[in-house]
Chains A and B, each alone.
Chain A
Amino acid sequence: MLGKMRLLFWLGLALLLAACQPYTFKGTEYPEGISAEDFTLTTTEGQPFRLSDQRGKIVLMFFGFTSCPDVCPTTLAEAKRIMEGLGDETENVQFVFITVDPERDTPERLGQYVSNFHPEIIGLTGTSEELQTVFDAYGIYAAKVALKDSAAAYTMEHTARVFLVDQDGRLRLSYAFGTPDEDILQDVQYLLD
């Protein structure tokens, strides 16, 4: 009898402690309080898109280019699964794809590219200077690399992380290329709750 009581006590304590465990984010955390650098770029419909106008929503940002056959479609396919996984909460999350190749990515091409994955994904472009300012603010490396003997002519080497800006406009998390979409979804759902 006493043995059973003792077992129950320890079991209860273990459960309590487990419940107290703080949530551990799957992404790489930024020190809390860093406000995401504001910027204004242009959507593929020619409308201005200002980051600070998205307050109240979680913004997921990825930098890529439409000629990219592997890394960018892989990430956008993940974005699609994240949006689908959010269900009704999709309206509280905005995924943006910012071009690192404005030379080839016309607004039309960019629009076709992102909408192929999910209608709610916004493609953003701007002048080289406008884009460079955003790259600098988020530590994005983007460089043209010639591909010798390739029909692709050149490729863009670029930072392939997904950045998360929370509802209060704080840069909270980033994810390495290849992070499972379930991990990002879990973090987003935690922040939405």
Chain B
Amino acid sequence: MRQWIFTAILFVLVSLSACGGMPSEPRLSVDNAWARSPAMEGGNGAIYFRLMNEGDEADRLLSVSSSLATAEMHQTVAKENGTMGMEPLDAVEVPAGGEVEFKQGGMHIMLIGVTGPMSIGDTIPLTLRFELTGDMQITAEVRQ
């Protein structure tokens, strides 16, 4: 009897410690992904989305790729006197329990030299490559 209780307690303890010892990890999801259709064949476009991390560890978006165009991470920056510029981003951190937004006039995925048609309402694929999560496929709806 005593031995049984001991085993039970040991079992519970082991289970609990397994729980507490669960490695922390990022849990990423993407919301409201949309693409601005390039105005012309071979033109440039942009993709915007909200990137959320419900996990307890941060992750970093390292690069993006698309079968339709060369894709790069850029940020629009406001300079003095209403001047706007654009700078490439090396990586974007998605904090644990936080989110980052790629939006007009801010961070965006620039599509350079879009080949093939991109019509309003189409969905286009994009691959996001993260440091910890690895590759994540998303689709973005084409809007004007």
Taking Cβ atoms with an 8 Å cutoff, the residues of A that contact B are 66-71, 73-74, 77, 80, 109, 112-114, 116-117, 139, 141, 145, 147-152, 155, 157-161, 174, 176-178
Contact = CB atoms under 8 A, between A and B. Distances in A.
B39 A159 contact: no
A117 B39 contact: yes
Given A112-B40, A155-B86, A73 B81 contact: no
Contacts of B76: 70-71
B144 interface: yes
Given A69-B36, A113-B39, A151-B70, A160 B45 contact: no
Q: What size tier do the contact residues of chain B reach?
A: 20 to 34
Contact of B105 (A67, A70, A112): A70
A109 B40 contact: yes
Chain A binding surface, main DSSP class: loop
Nearest to A153: B112
A116 B45 CA distance: 13
6 contacts: A70-B46, A70-B108, A116-B39, A149-B88, A150-B88, A178-B105
B43 A176 contact: no
Contacts of B116: none
B110 A69 contact: yes
Given A66-B39, A113-B43, A151-B113, A77 B82 contact: no
Contact of B104 (A74, A109, A113, A117): A74
A174 B81 CA distance: 12
Interface in B38-68: 38-40, 43-46
A116 B86 CA distance: 23
Contact of B82 (A109, A114, A155, A176): A176
B40 A116 contact: yes
Nearest to A139: B81
